[in-house]
A and B are shown apart, each in its own frame.
Chain A
Amino acid sequence: MFRYIVFIPLFPAIGAFLNGVFGHRFTKNAVHTIAITAIGLSFLFSLYAFFQLIGLPSHERVIEEVVYSWIGTGNFSVNVAFLLDPLSSIMLLVVTGVGFLIHIYSVGYMHHDKAYWRFFTYLNLFVFAMLLLVMGNNFLMMFVGWEGVGLCSYLLIGFWYEDNNNANAGKKAFVVNRVGDFGFILGIFLIFTTFGTITYREVFDKATMMLPYGGTLATAITLLLFVGATGKSAQIPLYVWLPDAMAGPTPVSALIHAATMVTAGVYMIARCNVLYSLAPFSLGVVATVGAVTALFAATMGLLQRDIKKVLAYSTISQLGYMFLGVGVAAYSAGVFHLMTHAFFKALLFLGAGSVIHAMGGEQDIMKMGGLRRHIPRTFLTFFIGTLAIAGTPGLAGFFSKDEILWQAFSSPHGHPVLWLIGAVAAGMTSFYMFRLTFLTFFGTERMDEHTKHHIHESPNSMVIPLMILAILSIVGGYVGVPEALGGSNHFHHFFEPVIRHIGEVKEGHFSHALEYGLMATSVGIAVIGFLISYTFYIKNPQLPEKLKNSMAGLYKLIFNKYYVDEIYEFVFVKGCKGLGTLLWQKFDVLVVDGIVNGAGTVVEFFGKTIRRLQTGYVQNYAVGILLGIVIILGIFIF
């Protein structure tokens, strides 16, 4: 009766197949009709699945659908099976819903591209991989999706591969992700050797019985899995690929590097909440890495000049928030922020794409300004996105961000320092987002006359997704209004069956007054960020320049992103190259080649020596025969 679940990932797969194999013969209309229909049907089925789930009593909200047995050898068996529970259904809605809007947007954005069919093939393929990732009922399925999105990410970042920089950015993303994936697959191996199975349900059931609270094994497994998450979700130290990934077309940045793929790590931790709850040390690591990333990336976003790079660092920072949320065992808060972030970050990226489209490819915000008069609809939606991400009370970002900050403070795994870091990062977020908005849409028009003449509002296919996302960015938070604000936090209750509580967790008792206080503080910090931004870029545009000159060293450090890329280049890339050269010149040339050539030399030496016996004179051979006979006779006789 639930067979329809299978079709959710199947539709994009079919779409990718049709476009991939026959796409070059189709017209552009046919290509995008196939792609959009595929994901649209997926979205409808996901919606249906969601309502089906809502209709069930909360403890029965788990549907598993085995399609077929994939691997069955000895004690290792894996099914291709799909799992539908509150967590995966939320992810489904986000992936297919936001993905659907981005597909529509791409119709307008990619209109002039000659590899139109290739783009939509990759998009559909990506959605397929992402759906496998979130729907699988075992770790191997998750890994297949995990690698699949990595591959599609590589293909899409390097989509305009004629430019070498883009191709390199794709390679960088792929290689950095592989580093994380290595840890991830080690984690899966460890899970298999420990539990003898990789199906979620069995692993989690056994984990609660077999693993002691805070044991080494649980910590090792969760830390290895987290290494994978840092790669895929761009956390310190593996975040370096994400800013470069902006080389891809803007809808790709919105879909992959903001709304869906990078959230895979958060999804994974929320999925493995049992294991993480068993390992408080790992939770601490996750929360710390998340908080530090949130702050660190936010500072890097402060001074970027590329409109997409600002959003890229903002994404890393927001992902840090999500990890901070799941790291203090507030899994529902993390996933809640994942959802709202998908809305407003997709909106911001698509808005940025619309701006770039209007500016004829220009991405430097220092060469924009005053655009609100030229592209009012893009401006309005972008502004809503900015308000949402900055945490303006009433918009989506406020509820989710505040939930995370509150949990960081009040959860048994939380700590006031984590809250403080998060709050400061929130202030910075507010600053750089308003800076971006002000520089792009307000102030003097700094573009040249030619560009200015060509500025035009984007077509409806691009603006309508923006509007839908803007509405979602406004109302998306109301599914999770906290109790302190008179809501009932539907999101949290819906999410509840996914989480298993481990051991005796003593709930901290905090008064609502404290919650209000913290809320007001974080809003206050955000307002300060806004005010600074307003002073710098609207009231007194000369101020940033003065400040820059007075703190030139710091400015340079941050503007160059703390030289992290250069350090990585020096330590890892140069190091690997050096090691490779060393092995090549010393080991390969001397030892390996020595053995191979040596074998030849020895044979040649013996051949040269023995060939002298072959004189060609028959009589010499006859003497040999004679001598042989004499020797044999001698042996017989004596």
Chain B
Amino acid sequence: MISTNFHLVIGILLFSIGVLGFIIRRNLLICFMSIELMLNSVNLIFVTYSNMVKSTIGLMYVFFIMAVAAAEVSIGLAIIILLFRQKGTVDMDSLNTLKG
């Protein structure tokens, strides 16, 4: 039986990788994947705790998150494709038109 702590540490590591990836990488697709990574790390933590306290509420949240993430991914990818068609690039450094 793998301990609860192991799962939690995996979750934290995944989240940190997602955060760092989002901040450091300049490719929009990679950043998008990092966001998904963060979502899934949260899912992992939900499942872990749900198992720990013997409650199904955490599992329920996981399903919600997966449903929302699926919808979000389809919209996000659509936006990225449109951006690519317009600008010809997905480099985030060139996407600063909201500069004040």
Interface residues of A (CB under 8 A from B): 611-619, 622-623, 626
Residues of B78-100 at the interface with A, using a CB-CB cut-off of 8 Å, are 92-93, 95-100
Contact of A616 with B22 in the complex, beta carbons under 8 Å: no
Contact of B92 with A619 in the complex, beta carbons under 8 Å: yes
Contact of A616 with B98 in the complex, beta carbons under 8 Å: yes
Contact of B99 with A622 in the complex, beta carbons under 8 Å: no
Given A622-B23, A623-B23, A626-B23, are A616 and B92 neighbors across the interface (CB < 8 Å)?
A: no
Min distance, Cβ B12 to any Cβ of chain A, angstroms: 13
Contact of B23 with A616 in the complex, beta carbons under 8 Å: no
Q: Which of A616, A619, A622 contacts B97 (CB 8 A)?
A: A616
B42 touches A (CB below 8 Å): no
Contact of A617 with B100 in the complex, beta carbons under 8 Å: no
Q: Which of B23, B93, B96, B100 contacts A612 (CB 8 A)?
A: B100
**Which residues in B have their C-beta under 8 angstroms from that of A619?**
22-23, 31, 92
Residue with the highest number of chain B CB atoms closer than 10 Å, among A613, A614, A617: A617
B59 touches A (CB below 8 Å): no
**Which residues in A have their C-beta under 8 angstroms from that of B95?**
616-618
Q: How distant is the Cα of A618 from the Cα of B31 in the complex, in angstroms? A: 10
**Which residues in A have their C-beta under 8 angstroms from that of B92?**
617-619
Min distance, Cβ B54 to any Cβ of chain A, angstroms: 27
Contact of A613 with B100 in the complex, beta carbons under 8 Å: yes
Residue with the highest number of chain B CB atoms closer than 10 Å, among A611, A612, A619, A623: A619
Q: Can you list 5 pairs linking A and B with CB atoms under 8 Å apart?
A: A612-B100, A617-B93, A617-B95, A619-B31, A626-B19
- Closest-by-CB residue of B relative to A613 is B100
**Which residues in A have their C-beta under 8 angstroms from that of B31?**
618-619
Q: How distant is the Cα of A613 from the Cα of B100 in the complex, in angstroms? A: 8
- Closest-by-CB residue of A relative to B98 is A616
Interface residues of B (CB under 8 A from A): 19, 22-23, 31, 92-93, 95-100
- Apart from A622-B23, A626-B23, 17 more pairs, CB < 8 Å: A614-B99, A614-B100, A615-B96, A615-B99, A615-B100, A616-B95, A616-B97, A616-B98, A616-B99, A616-B100, A617-B93, A617-B95, A617-B96, A618-B92, A619-B23, A619-B92, A626-B19
Min distance, Cβ A488 to any Cβ of chain B, angstroms: 99
Q: How distant is the Cα of A394 from the Cα of B93 in the complex, in angstroms? A: 112
Q: Which of A612, A614, A622 contacts B98 (CB 8 A)?
A: A614
**Which residues in A have their C-beta under 8 angstroms from that of B98?**
614, 616
Q: How distant is the Cα of A613 from the Cα of B98 in the complex, in angstroms? A: 11
Q: How distant is the Cα of A614 from the Cα of B96 in the complex, in angstroms? A: 10
- Closest-by-CB residue of A relative to B28 is A618
**Which residues in A have their C-beta under 8 angstroms from that of B19?**
626
Q: How distant is the Cα of A321 from the Cα of B65 in the complex, in angstroms? A: 105
**Which residues in B have their C-beta under 8 angstroms from that of A622?**
22-23
**Which residues in A have their C-beta under 8 angstroms from that of B93?**
617
**Which residues in A have their C-beta under 8 angstroms from that of B99?**
614-616
Q: How distant is the Cα of A576 from the Cα of B96 in the complex, in angstroms? A: 60
Min distance, Cβ B37 to any Cβ of chain A, angstroms: 14
Q: How distant is the Cα of A409 from the Cα of B100 in the complex, in angstroms? A: 91
**Which residues in B have their C-beta under 8 angstroms from that of A623?**
23
**Which residues in B have their C-beta under 8 angstroms from that of A616?**
95-100
- Closest-by-CB residue of B relative to A608 is B100
Min distance, Cβ B19 to any Cβ of chain A, angstroms: 6
Min distance, Cβ A617 to any Cβ of chain B, angstroms: 5
Min distance, Cβ A527 to any Cβ of chain B, angstroms: 97
Min distance, Cβ A124 to any Cβ of chain B, angstroms: 69
Contact of A611 with B100 in the complex, beta carbons under 8 Å: yes
- Closest-by-CB residue of A relative to B25 is A619
- Closest-by-CB residue of A relative to B24 is A619
Q: How distant is the Cα of A616 from the Cα of B92 in the complex, in angstroms? A: 10
Q: How distant is the Cα of A616 from the Cα of B19 in the complex, in angstroms? A: 19
Min distance, Cβ A343 to any Cβ of chain B, angstroms: 85
Min distance, Cβ B98 to any Cβ of chain A, angstroms: 4
**Which residues in B have their C-beta under 8 angstroms from that of A614?**
98-100
Min distance, Cβ A608 to any Cβ of chain B, angstroms: 10
**Which residues in A have their C-beta under 8 angstroms from that of B96?**
615-617
**Which residues in B have their C-beta under 8 angstroms from that of A613?**
100
- Closest-by-CB residue of A relative to B97 is A616
